[in-house]
A = this chain, B = another copy of it.
């Protein structure tokens, strides 16, 4: 017989058949368990069935391969030998868990069953071993529920109903109030209910195993898992591995415990051991937030009443410290570990790279480079671009906070679980948050949160929970979202029914204002002014010196490394000197989009603009425009000064004229008076400017074609400003004039010709020679498909992906609220195309434009200035299709710099290991 592939990889007693680099075969979890075992780390013994078996299973009509059963039995025997317990025996019974595990983590997507091997007989042994009948019956109850649901397909409600009945009968509200007899009764009712359905619960532990294995594999192909894979681009062929591992119990008495720990602080990245534990408890008690856990180290104690693991179980603690150091060195990343102490013996149940806040990600990455654990490339790769936003998140104004405290507005202090500070109205229910957040900022307040609350957490400005620790659901999710979050604020008493909470003797009701500081854990009554983050204070406000801000220095270091890696230029969108300065401070290398229309809305200007619009002849129009010229020139001069020697792309007037005219009767009358015409005349012109589809109307270069005086003025203002600034600086301005909404090459040619004449004249008048560029936005599909022709008259292209998305998808952003949420819900568009570039559609047009444009002009400079320019996956796309730069709002410049570096790193990775 040919040697068949190995189905099973064993681990236990310091030796494992697998390794960390076998993730594709053993799944992430299985590979890590093997690796830890080989490192001498005390991991409960077990074995992993390979992903190949999973694939065999699905390719063979959900049949497990011959020989597998035999191997499983053999390996269970090996577990028994290592753990000194016996599977299915009454005396000292071995229980096992059966867990899924793909090559990358798919949290909550697939199934796990604990306590396999329990039946009425082994239960008896369990109870004897633990001397805890309540625990025994409760465990069996849970096992029945989990197995019944996952393997046998019985609705959770059927079990829940029985449990609720038991509580009602006893007149209690919480599970914890039930005793061993109650659970025993529940177990028998469960078994009866199963029988009544014509099903039979397998009391034979082996039968339990076979059912469990199949269920785990089946969970690879549930609709939920398929959707998740599609969404993340994971192929079906990966399959899941299945690990079978001995159970250990942290609730076997006072010499038992359970906990979670991080090798560094996941909130701020500080290099110290950090974790939470509970004596005589099960793992889920720590994470579920039902009991507020205790600190692991002495130093982290917040009160004398607390006891640390370091004090309580000093030997286990020492062992844990050795292990965490070893694991971090080994995996070269901050680890998130789960452990259990069973009767004084430490077991490590899991280790993985820990989730962290943006701040922590930056600090850990930079520190690890300094510790020579990782390379700069790796450090950059470890910091999600979006995470940097958290370092720019606002903090409360210190003075105002002090005043608020002195006025008695301080309410309580919880755990500082998420970055930044926020004020908002209290809402107790995630569904309502979704609705209320549309009206203004909202803080979600819950006793604890669960996965069902995620939609509310996503739109709340902050999250506050009464229970749970730094590793609770609320804390993890909030950190992931970069949201201000305070957890474990036990002073809160929430009454969901009455939509009220009381805290420190005060009662706050739904809708009242509340402020939380995710950096300090403070909770205050009312609204509080927020202040810029430290980074912003250093960079933009000059209130703090770089040397005084640890956060700033980390921020600056990692971005410096990103800059060394990235190839894409990063510019900012800025219409004012203030924004220009901000952009430059955040690292922008020029302006990618300076909109000129925003400059028109100041009262002195809008009047001139209106007179220009209402003019009946080109002559009148010119006269009105002449008033505007010096103002526009001043704007441009200031902007050029703030971007010395760097390109400044100025877009000529874009919006339809009706945006500038008054619509209210009062304003119309005032304007008519000023212009010495009848209000009816003004009104007639205003009506004439009305459009059915202004987005597709008389705007962009169409204005420049029909009212050439406007563009003439703007070109003159730009060039006069540039020439004048050039005289007084060493860094000459680099003006780039951008024509919006071009669809046909003739449009650009016509405007270019006119503009060049003006530029020539101005430079002659001013006796100055400047480099300048004239280019166009690519923002309507025709421009993309005719890009080869348009490139003949364009020195540069800049993608306006907002409008390009609207036109390419035939979807008005302003009106899409009526259907786009439904579209995203149904996954028609996997992500909102206005948030991230729709690569399959809009992206195709962009690729076409790049390819066609460069076919005409090989060196054509191409950028993007839509809002997508600061969104990481869009930035990566822009890198991939060969753009020269991205441009985004000033505050997103750091994100774009990071994303541009990521794009290069990802490309490298793909080149090194192509699929």
* A contact residues vs B (CB 8 Å cutoff): 691-698, 702, 705-706, 741, 743-744, 746-747, 750, 779-782, 785-786, 789, 803, 806-812, 814-816, 818-819, 822-823, 826-829, 838, 840-842, 844-845, 848
Please list the 4 inter-chain residue pairs (A to B) with the smallest Cβ-Cβ separation, ordered nearest first: A780-B810, A696-B812, A782-B841, A781-B781
Whether B781 and A819, one on each chain, are in contact in the complex, defined by CB atoms closer than 8 angstroms, is no
Q: How far is the CB of A754 from chain B (nearest CB, A)?
A: 12
CB-based nearest B residue for A748: B828
Bound Cα distance A786, B823 (Å): 17
Partner of A810, one of B782, B827, B838, B841: B782
Partner of A750, one of B780, B826, B848: B826
Q: How far is the CB of A693 from chain B (nearest CB, A)?
A: 4
Q: How far is the CB of A489 from chain B (nearest CB, A)?
A: 40
Partner of A811, one of B743, B826, B842: B743
Whether B698 and A696, one on each chain, are in contact in the complex, defined by CB atoms closer than 8 angstroms, is no
Residues of B within 8 A of A691 (CB): 812, 814-815, 818
Bound Cα distance A702, B811 (Å): 10
Q: How far is the CB of A643 from chain B (nearest CB, A)?
A: 30
Residues of B within 8 A of A746 (CB): 826-829
Residues of B within 8 A of A781 (CB): 781, 807-808, 810, 841, 845
Given A747-B828, A750-B828, A781-B781; 18 other pairs, CB 8 A cutoff? A691-B815, A692-B815, A693-B693, A693-B696, A695-B696, A696-B696, A696-B812, A697-B812, A697-B815, A705-B823, A705-B828, A706-B822, A741-B810, A744-B828, A780-B808, A782-B809, A785-B841, A785-B848
Bound Cα distance A698, B822 (Å): 12
Q: How far is the CB of A857 from chain B (nearest CB, A)?
A: 18
Q: Which of A750, A827, A829, A841 has the most CB of B within 10 A?
A: A841
Whether A779 and B810, one on each chain, are in contact in the complex, defined by CB atoms closer than 8 angstroms, is yes
Whether B806 and A696, one on each chain, are in contact in the complex, defined by CB atoms closer than 8 angstroms, is yes
Q: Show 16 A/B contacts (Cβ-Cβ < 8 Å), sorted by A.
A: A692-B815, A693-B693, A693-B694, A693-B696, A696-B811, A702-B823, A705-B819, A705-B823, A705-B826, A744-B828, A746-B826, A746-B828, A780-B809, A781-B808, A782-B809, A782-B842
Bound Cα distance A744, B819 (Å): 14
Residues of B within 8 A of A779 (CB): 810
Q: How far is the CB of A702 from chain B (nearest CB, A)?
A: 5
Partner of A698, one of B803, B815, B840: B815
Residues of B within 8 A of A706 (CB): 818-819, 822
Bound Cα distance A741, B811 (Å): 10
Q: How far is the CB of A406 from chain B (nearest CB, A)?
A: 47
Bound Cα distance A587, B785 (Å): 36
Bound Cα distance A383, B726 (Å): 66
Residues of B within 8 A of A780 (CB): 808-810
Partner of A782, one of B782, B803, B814, B838: B838
Whether B705 and A822, one on each chain, are in contact in the complex, defined by CB atoms closer than 8 angstroms, is yes
Bound Cα distance A806, B693 (Å): 10
Whether B812 and A692, one on each chain, are in contact in the complex, defined by CB atoms closer than 8 angstroms, is yes
Bound Cα distance A276, B782 (Å): 52
Q: How far is the CB of A838 from chain B (nearest CB, A)?
A: 7
Residues of B within 8 A of A693 (CB): 693-696, 806, 812, 814-815
Q: How far is the CB of A231 from chain B (nearest CB, A)?
A: 13
CB-based nearest B residue for A829: B744
Residues of B within 8 A of A809 (CB): 743, 780, 782
Q: Which of A697, A750, A823, A840 has the most CB of B within 10 A?
A: A697
Q: A807-B781, A810-B741 are in contact. Are A698 and B818 (CB under 8 A)?
A: yes
CB-based nearest B residue for A703: B819
Q: How far is the CB of A355 from chain B (nearest CB, A)?
A: 31
Partner of A844, one of B692, B786, B816: B786
Bound Cα distance A694, B705 (Å): 26
CB-based nearest B residue for A702: B819
Bound Cα distance A727, B493 (Å): 72
Residues of B within 8 A of A692 (CB): 694-695, 812, 814-815
Q: How far is the CB of A687 from chain B (nearest CB, A)?
A: 13
Whether A815 and B785, one on each chain, are in contact in the complex, defined by CB atoms closer than 8 angstroms, is no
Partner of A697, one of B818, B838, B842, B845: B818
Q: Which of A692, A695, A696, A844 has the most CB of B within 10 A?
A: A696
Bound Cα distance A702, B820 (Å): 9
Q: How far is the CB of A794 from chain B (nearest CB, A)?
A: 16
Bound Cα distance A803, B789 (Å): 23
Residues of B within 8 A of A785 (CB): 808, 841, 844-845, 848
Partner of A786, one of B694, B814, B828, B840: B840
Q: How far is the CB of A538 from chain B (nearest CB, A)?
A: 41
Bound Cα distance A456, B746 (Å): 27
Bound Cα distance A808, B695 (Å): 13
Bound Cα distance A696, B694 (Å): 11
Q: A750-B826, A826-B750 are in contact. Are A743 and B810 (CB under 8 A)?
A: yes
Bound Cα distance A783, B842 (Å): 10
Residues of B within 8 A of A840 (CB): 744, 786, 789
Bound Cα distance A551, B753 (Å): 54
Residues of B within 8 A of A826 (CB): 705, 746, 750
Residues of B within 8 A of A786 (CB): 840-841, 844
Bound Cα distance A823, B706 (Å): 8
Q: Which of A697, A702, A810 has the most CB of B within 10 A?
A: A810
Residues of B within 8 A of A744 (CB): 828-829, 840-841
Residues of B within 8 A of A741 (CB): 810
Bound Cα distance A808, B778 (Å): 12
Q: How far is the CB of A151 from chain B (nearest CB, A)?
A: 31
CB-based nearest B residue for A784: B781
Residues of B within 8 A of A842 (CB): 782
Residues of B within 8 A of A702 (CB): 818-819, 823
CB-based nearest B residue for A822: B706
Q: How far is the CB of A534 from chain B (nearest CB, A)?
A: 41
Q: A692-B694, A750-B828, A785-B844 are in contact. Are A808 and B807 (CB under 8 A)?
A: yes
Q: Which of A692, A743, A789, A808 has the most CB of B within 10 A?
A: A808
Bound Cα distance A484, B811 (Å): 44
Residues of B within 8 A of A803 (CB): 810
Bound Cα distance A811, B838 (Å): 22
Q: Which of A694, A695, A828 has the most CB of B within 10 A?
A: A828
CB-based nearest B residue for A840: B786
